[in-house]
Amino acid sequence: MADGNGGFVLTLNGGSSSLKFALYAAGQAAPDMRGQFDRLGRAGTTFRVRRAEGRQEELPVEAKDHAGALAYLFDWLDTTMAHARLVAIGHRIVHGGPRYRSHSVVDDALVEELGRIVDYAPEHLPAEIAMLEFCRERHPGVLQVACFDTAFHRDMPAVARLLPLPRRFAGVERYGFHGLSYSFLLQELERSFGQDAARGRLILAHLGNGASLAAVHGGRSVDTSMSFTPAAGIPMGTRTGDIDPGLVRYLAKTEGMDAEAFDRMVNHESGLLGVSGTSSDLRELLAAEGSDHRAAEAVDLFCYRVRQAIGGFAAVLGGVDRLVFTGGIGENAPVIRERVCAGLEFLGIALDQGFNAQGRAIISKPSSAVPVHVMATDEEAIIAEAVTAHLQQENLAL
């Protein structure tokens, strides 16, 4: 994924306390290496990298934030790949707001607009803006492309985008997220099962610490569970998902909770962590549910709300042709997949318990009217493709 002249494309995918990267060489669909920084801003930050030939490294590093991790990464690349020519950098950006509804070349206007809408996604945009600015300073002549998670949902019907608020709040609408992941799943469905499969009535469930579902038909997003911010939708690791807006006033009156405290509660203290009182990690909650009723309730709530979303999207789509699980939970937690699908037989979903336990690519029975898939997602691949497209456009322009 490069310019065809021996250069490399670097993809960057920042999370709240992590940073994933991949390096793609010219003409290659698979990366030369992938890596990740974990526990950014905390003690014990680690840097892990895996090369294409399978060799892996893990090193302790000091990086208090994403910019610090980038400084370490670029120094490391300069040392280990001294003769490599970096031709482009692709960034995953969570929110593009009302202006940026497709992947775009980074320029002053884009950075300025992200700064203007920073409160659209205050948990993500500040770090992403800092990474953009750091890369522009470190590699001023290198093409940079912003790849927006919201871009996948830009064609949602107007009724799915609307929020029932006064019209004067310009830009306040349902945007949706996890778009890079959903784009990859569509590509994989088409590659493995053909165009008809990818253009059918699909429900895609990206289940991880951050989780959402999308209803897709004809290759386009029809609806999604997240909304104006990634805090909406189903309960997540520490996020509430959808809650009663009347809680804002109630908690302000009874607890003296201001907007900042409410935001902190919604994004960092709720979800699985809030209900269980112990952990945001479903693995820990599943291990404890036999002896801890609060852990069991947290797991039950998560599965219930995912199942509820699937039922709602089936109604929106007028039926379901395929259900796809992805994300850390979706790919690795067969018991969650089984509980989510329990009771969905009326939609034509019939899970095979053996296939599910083995983590097969298709976990439904051969007789199931609706195939149920488990797919590993690859947001970096979508970023690299978008960057390559912009590089090709630049070459044609020359």
- Residue 3: predicted pLDDT: 44
Q: 351 near 341, Cβ under 8 Å? A: yes
Q: Would you say residue 397 lies in a domain?
A: no
Structural domain of residue 114, as residue ranges?
7-154
Active-site annotation holder among 149, 258, 263, 300: 149
Q: Identity (one letter) of the amino acid at 353?
A: Q
Say if residue 58 is in the same domain as residue 134. yes
Strands of 202-206's sheet in order across: 220-224, 212-217, 202-206, 322-326, 372-374
Say if residue 108 is in the same domain as residue 253. no
Say if residue 206 is in the same domain as residue 313. yes
* 3-state secondary structure (DSSP) of residue 195: helix
Say if residue 207 is in the same domain as residue 110. no
* 3-state secondary structure (DSSP) of residue 19: strand
Q: Give the residue from 329, 314, 315 showing the smallest Cα distance to 283.
A: 329
Say if residue 223 is in the same domain as residue 366. yes
Query: For residue 137, what are its two tokens?
Result: 């300073």
Q: Would you say residue 267 lies in a domain?
A: yes
Residue 149 annotated in active site: yes
Q: Would you say residue 382 lies in a domain?
A: no
- Residue 392: predicted pLDDT: 87
State mean pLDDT over 189-200. 98
CA R_g for the chain = 21
Q: Would you say residue 159 lies in a domain?
A: no
Domain CATH for 311:
3.30.420.40
Read off the pLDDT of residues 316-364 as tens digits, 9 standing for 90 and up. Answer: 999 999 999 999 999 999 999 999 999 999 999 999 999 999 999 999 9
Mark which of 134, 154, 174 sits at the end of a domain.
154
Q: If pLDDT is split at 50, 70 and 90, which confidence band does 27 have?
A: low
Say if residue 253 is in the same domain as residue 317. yes
Q: Would you say residue 1 lies in a domain?
A: no
Q: Provide the whole-model pTM.
A: 0.95
The total of structural domains in the chain comes to: 2
Read off the pLDDT of residues 266-314 as tens digits, 9 standing for 90 and up. Answer: 999 999 999 999 999 999 999 999 999 999 999 999 999 999 999 999 9
Q: If pLDDT is split at 50, 70 and 90, which confidence band does 263 have?
A: very high
CA 157 to chain centre: 22
